[in-house]
Amino acid sequence: MIRGMHPERGHYSAENCSIQAALDIVGEKWTLLVVREAFFGVRRFADFQRLLGCARNILSARLKTLVDAGILSLSPYREPGSRARYEYRLTEKGRDLYPIVVSLMQWGDRWGERPDGAPLQLTHRDCGQAVEVQLRCAADHGPLSVRDVQARAGAGAKAA
């Protein structure tokens, strides 16, 4: 894919690109940081705010974006003596963002200045070994690098 320009690139539109579609939803720093906290099990507005340290209005807007996109769902709860409030929980669509979050983390770990080592360790619950994101093919060859991968127009490609 990086051996000279893709011969077909100019023939197709980037208008319906899935990368762009994903970035339209999660391509804003605070949005993915909210998702990061949700993967840590954070569910309540006050906890998101305390951990992220972002302004209430920004947090409200990002939570709304994520609920509207079907990434977080609202689930009511009531503490004794308080009015009903809502918790935010990852949906299946939200949990499916995990490889994106882990691949960002992996790159940040590898290329950031980390003299003390990575701040977070992910391990396989069953065997305790380190977890990473890899490229694999359906015949289970891998891990693959970009040089092993061929890109071509799919069924949903649109002419430029």
Site for a second copy in 12-31 (CB under 8 A): 12, 14, 16-24, 26-29
| Distance separating alpha carbons of residues 108 and 102, to the nearest angstrom | 10
- Amino acid residing at 47: D
**Per CB under 8 A, does 119 bind a second copy?**
yes
- Give the three-state DSSP class for 64: helix
- The distance in angstroms from the start CA to the end CA of the chain is 20
**Per CB under 8 A, does 61 bind a second copy?**
no
CB 67 within 8 A of CB 39: no
**Per CB under 8 A, does 55 bind a second copy?**
no
| Distance separating alpha carbons of residues 141 and 20, to the nearest angstrom | 28
**Per CB under 8 A, does 87 bind a second copy?**
no
**Per CB under 8 A, does 74 bind a second copy?**
no
| Distance separating alpha carbons of residues 94 and 75, to the nearest angstrom | 15
- Binding range to a second copy, per CB under 8 A, among 55-63, 74-82, 126-134: 126-134
**Per CB under 8 A, does 96 bind a second copy?**
yes
- Binding range to a second copy, per CB under 8 A, among 57-65, 77-85, 142-150: 142-150
Taking the least distance from each CB to a second copy, the nearer of 83 and 111 is 111
